[in-house]
Every structure is written in structure tokens, then in C-alpha cells.
């Protein structure tokens, strides 16, 4: 056996094949990664479009009902699904009004009555009340003035790369893309929520 | 002339036959000359495919991006009832599948060919009154999975007579009569939206003044009620270039835009 091992270690034949065996997986990964990256960039781009268009639709409303919100969520799903990507889409939105100016002229408080979350792969999303202040940053207050109003729409989705999981089997390689769009309401200072189950009327 | 050693002794190529067929093979496989050429013949084909594949992959994503952009531009033409292509040429809002596909093509920087663009434009149920009934919005639109010239966007309009009464900065609208305004196309109840959405145009105007109040009477005006309609447009591009292999792997490129038609301007 030691003779065989020594002969193997000394052998110089087939070195190209051995080198190829070492490099091929790396090359293959790099090649696939270039496709993965492009696909992921497109998924992120799609999420941005979903947020923008749902915000565009919302800004024309004076008030929204649960049925309308369902519609807008479905609209977002149509747009996200067409990119060939899947994963659970979630949309959160709020129509926020800033008030109570301080001595520096900035708003100190904000209110919203139309916050909602929707997250479901089904065509009929289940809505939950939005977590308080989930979409409003502290800097929004210092950047805002009395009666400033904004609609904040956040769309996010889990994205699973098409190639990588097949290499790693059960190990999850999913990650989440998030995009935020902001617009001003056109017709009213703040979009009201029509009284309906799951929403506090405003 | 090449020569080499074998069990037949040192022989010339021309004399190879004299040692039998086996000797020819032996000499052929014993030959170390032209190795690079043989290796290139084997690797070159693969390499060319990989290089072309990389280029095609880039072209594929270029088409994906361009289709997204062009579909948004064309959808926007419906949304705001007028459009402008990338050359800055204003166009009317498309009302046929052919016109919609042509608008996408004109916004594609020449990357997409018209023959390979399939489109679907689908509208939810009409808006009646000042609010939408449940279940008639985007949910009423079936998933547009197979765009093939489907076009269900019919901008509704009818003819009305109306008056405006202006006192100071306050204007009120009143419907006098209507023709062809039905719930399925353009419900007259939507006239209540006029102060904020201004969906009326044209008509013969007659003006009268009484004190500080100005009354304008419009006859034969066009009342358009497409504003607020929920629309989903989808464009699909099937590649027929040499990138067909890439398309085969990834399928046709599809782009979808969902939006509401904006209020018309007066």
C-alpha cells in the first residue's frame, strides 16, 4: 500500500484534470452567482415598484375601506408575481399627519388613523392593526412641519434565490427585500379609514 | 517529414502502412505534436458557448429592464390619459392592444421587436357612485397570466348638459340632463365627483351674471368617468433571437403594472 501511495504522490500525470476538478465548482458558482445576482436585483426592483404603485393608488383616495385595501394588496401581488419570483409579500401603510410645532418650527407629534399591515400569499390578505409608529422614523418629526402629511408604504417580501438552495438542500438561503415609498395625499390632509372590522375608525 | 521510433524501427510517415494498421494508431496516439490545437478544439467550443452565454445573459437582463420601463411608460399613458415616448413625442392614450404594444415598443430604445410583444390590459368593474362597491376592484381582475392581445379597458363617457354657479371662489355643479349615461359605463351619480375630479370637457357655454353670481350653462359636454378605474396591464416578451436558449431557461419576460386611472384635467 505504501508503494501505491508513494507512486500516487509522485505521479505527475493528469494534473490538468485534478486542477479542473478543483476549479470547476468555483467557476460554476461564479457563473451561477452572476445570474443569481441579476435575478435578486430584479426582485428588489419589483418590490420598489410595488411600494410606489400602491402609494400612487392610495394618494388619490379620500378614505379607504378594508375591501379597498384588499384590492390594493392584490394589485401589489400582481406586480410582484410577474417577475417570476415568489415569496410572501407583505405591505404596510399609513397616512401620517404631523402636528404640534416646537420653537424650532418642527412637528413634535404625529397621528395616523389608517395604519395597516397585510401579509399573505393568498388573494384575500388578512389585515392586522399596524404596530404603533412602525413606519415613522424619529427624523421624520424634525424634518416635518405643522400639518405636514405623508403616506408611507412599505412593501417587503422574502426572496429565495433559484439556484443556491439546490446546492445546500434544507439550509435556508432566503432573505427579505424591503422598499419604502412616500407620497402626499392629494384630496385630503389625511386619508381616513372607513369603519370596518379590524380597523379603528378615524 | 515527421518521423518517430516504434517497434518497427525508425520509419517515415509515408511508410506507416508497411507496419500495419495497429502501428498507425500507435503512432497517432504516441504523437505529442499539435496538443494545443487538439485541446483548443475541445475547449474552444465550450468556451465560445460560455462567452456567448454571458453576452446573451446580459442581453436578457437588458430586455427585462427595458420591458419593465416601457410597460410602466405605456401604463402611464392610460393612467394620465396621454403619453409621451422616450423621444418626447406625445401620444394619445392607447385604446387597443395593438396601440398599447406599439407604445411599449416605441419606449424600448429599439431593444424590443413589436412582433414579440404580447399584452393584456384588463379593467375591473366600473366605478358607480362616489365609491367602489366591494369586490369590484383589482380583485375582480383575473390573473393576467397569458397576455395575448387582451384589451378590456374601455374609457367610458357620455354626453351631459350642466350648469356651474360661481359666487366668489365657490363653484357648484348641477346636472341638467344626460344622454347615454348608464351604470355600466358612466353613472350620473359620479357627477358628484366633479368638484374634485373635473371629469367633464367641451360643450357649448352660455354665461349669465346676476349680481356677484355667475352662472355658466354647458350644453352637449362630454362627461368622462374613467378616473378611478382599477386596471392591470401586463406585457410579455418572448425572445426569438439567438438568446432563445436563455429564454428557454428563464421563460418569457413578463412585466405587470397595476394602477388607477387619474382624474382628468379640465
Position A145 confidence tier, pLDDT thresholds 50, 70, 90: low
Q: Is the Cβ of A65 closer than 8 Å to some Cβ of chain B? A: yes
pLDDT of A167 over the 70 cut = no
Could you tell me if residue A117 is inside a domain? Answer: yes
B contacts of A187 (beta carbons < 8 Å)? 196
Q: Is the Cβ of A177 closer than 8 Å to some Cβ of chain B? A: no
- Contacts of B191-194 with C-beta under 8 Å, sequence gap 24+, read B191/B160, B191/B162, B191/B223, B192/B129, B192/B130, B193/B130, B193/B227
The C-alpha cell that represents B179 in the structure block: 344622454
Write the CA distances from B44 to B57, B201, B227, B242, integer angstroms: 19, 68, 59, 19
Position B133 confidence tier, pLDDT thresholds 50, 70, 90: low
| B 64-93 near A (Cβ less than 8 A) | 64-65, 68, 72
Q: Is the Cβ of A33 closer than 8 Å to some Cβ of chain B? A: no
Q: Is the Cβ of A40 closer than 8 Å to some Cβ of chain B? A: no
Choose between B17 and A38: higher pLDDT.
A38
| pLDDT tens-digit readout, B8-49 | 445 455 554 556 888 888 888 878 788 888 888 988 998 888
- Judged by DSSP in three states, B181 sits in coil
For helices A66-81 and A15-59, the axis angle rounded to 10 degrees is 150
Average pLDDT over residues B143-157: 72
Query: pLDDT at position B79, please?
Result: 86
Q: Is the Cβ of B52 closer than 8 Å to some Cβ of chain A? A: no
Distance, CA of B191 to CA of B175 (rounded, Å): 7
| pLDDT tens-digit readout, B163-211 | 988 888 888 888 888 887 776 567 777 777 665 555 677 889 999 998 8
Place of cell 422614523: A137
Of A180, A202, A175, the residue nearest A191 (C-alpha): A202
Query: pLDDT at position B266, please?
Result: 43
- The predicted complex's ipTM stands at 0.76
DSSP at A199: S
Parallel, antiparallel, or unpaired: how do β-strands B90-92 and B3-4 relate?
unpaired
The count of CB pairs under 8 A between chains A and B is: 75
Query: pLDDT at position A132, please?
Result: 47
pLDDT of B224 over the 60 cut = yes
Query: pLDDT at position B183, please?
Result: 63
Integer-rounded Cα Rg, in Å, for chain B is 34
Could you tell me if residue A1 is inside a domain? Answer: no
Contact B264, B198 (CB under 8 A): yes
| pLDDT tens-digit readout, A187-200 | 788 787 665 444 45
Write down the mean pLDDT value for chain B: 78
Domain count, chain A: 1
Could you tell me if residue A163 is inside a domain? Answer: yes
Distance, CA of A59 to CA of A53 (rounded, Å): 10
Could you tell me if residue A200 is inside a domain? Answer: no
Full domain range(s) for residue A82: 13-193
| pLDDT tens-digit readout, A58-77 | 888 877 777 777 788 888 88
Chain Cα centroid distance, residue A42: 12
The C-alpha cell that represents B163 in the structure block: 350648469
Amino acid at each position: 500500500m505504501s508503494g501505491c501511495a508513494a507512486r500516487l504522490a509522485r505521479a505527475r500525470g493528469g494534473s490538468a484534470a485534478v486542477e479542473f476538478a478543483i476549479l470547476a465548482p468555483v467557476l460554476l458558482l461564479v457563473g451561477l452567482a452572476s445570474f443569481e445576482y441579476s435575478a435578486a436585483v430584479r426582485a428588489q426592483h419589483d418590490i420598489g415598484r410595488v411600494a410606489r404603485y400602491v402609494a400612487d393608488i392610495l394618494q388619490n383616495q379620500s378614505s379607504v375601506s378594508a375591501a379597498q385595501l384588499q384590492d390594493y394588496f392584490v394589485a401589489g401581488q400582481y406586480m410582484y408575481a410577474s417577475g417570476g419570483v415568489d415569496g410572501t409579500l407583505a405591505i404596510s401603510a399609513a397616512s401620517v399627519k404631523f402636528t404640534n410645532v416646537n420653537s424650532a418650527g418642527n412637528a413634535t407629534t404625529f397621528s395616523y388613523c389608517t395604519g395597516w399591515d397585510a401579509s399573505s400569499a393568498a388573494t384575500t390578505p388578512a389585515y392586522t392593526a399596524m404596530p404603533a409608529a412602525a413606519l415613522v422614523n424619529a427624523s421624520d418629526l424634525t424634518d416635518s412641519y405643522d400639518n405636514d402629511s405623508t403616506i408611507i408604504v412599505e412593501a417587503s417580501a422574502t426572496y429565495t434565490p433559484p439556484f443556491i438552495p439546490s446546492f445546500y438542500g434544507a439550509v435556508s438561503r432566503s432573505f427579505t427585500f424591503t422598499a419604502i415609498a412616500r407620497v402626499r395625499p392629494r384630496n385630503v390632509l389625511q386619508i381616513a379609514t372607513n369603519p370596518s372590522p379590524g380597523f379603528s375608525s378615524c | 517529414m515527421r518521423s518517430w521510433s516504434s517497434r518497427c524501427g525508425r520509419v517515415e510517415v509515408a511508410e506507416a502502412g508497411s507496419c500495419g494498421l495497429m502501428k498507425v494508431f500507435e503512432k497517432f496516439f504516441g504523437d505529442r505534436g499539435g496538443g494545443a490545437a487538439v485541446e483548443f478544439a475541445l475547449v474552444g467550443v465550450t468556451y465560445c458557448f460560455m462567452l456567448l452565454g454571458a453576452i446573451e445573459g446580459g442581453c436578457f437582463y437588458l430586455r427585462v429592464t427595458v420591458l419593465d420601463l416601457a410597460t410602466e411608460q405605456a401604463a402611464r399613458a392610460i393612467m394620465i390619459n396621454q403619453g409621451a415616448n422616450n423621444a418626447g413625442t406625445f401620444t394619445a392614450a392607447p385604446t387597443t392592444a395593438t396601440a398599447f404594444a406599439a407604445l411599449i415598443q416605441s419606449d424600448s430604445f429599439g431593444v424590443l421587436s413589436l412582433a414579440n410583444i404580447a399584452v393584456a390590459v384588463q379593467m375591473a368593474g366600473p366605478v358607480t357612485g362616489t365609491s367602489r362597491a366591494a369586490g369590484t376592484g383589482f380583485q375582480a381582475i383575473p390573473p393576467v397570466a397569458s397576455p395575448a392581445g387582451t384589451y378590456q379597458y374601455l374609457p367610458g363617457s357620455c354626453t351631459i348638459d350642466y350648469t356651474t354657479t360661481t359666487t366668489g371662489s365657490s363653484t357648484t355643479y348641477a346636472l341638467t340632463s344626460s344622454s347615454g349615461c348608464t351604470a355600466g359605463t358612466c353613472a350620473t351619480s359620479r357627477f358628484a365627483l366633479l368638484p374634485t375630479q373635473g371629469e367633464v370637457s367641451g360643450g357649448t357655454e352660455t354665461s349669465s351674471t346676476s349680481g356677484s353670481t355667475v352662472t355658466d350653462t354647458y350644453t352637449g359636454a362630454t362627461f368622462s368617468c374613467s378616473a378611478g378605474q382599477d386596471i392591470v396591464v401586463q406585457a410579455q416578451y418572448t425572445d426569438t433571437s439567438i438568446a432563445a436558449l436563455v429564454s428557454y431557461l428563464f421563460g418569457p419576460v413578463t412585466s405587470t403594472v397595476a394602477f388607477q386611472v387619474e382624474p382628468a384635467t379640465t
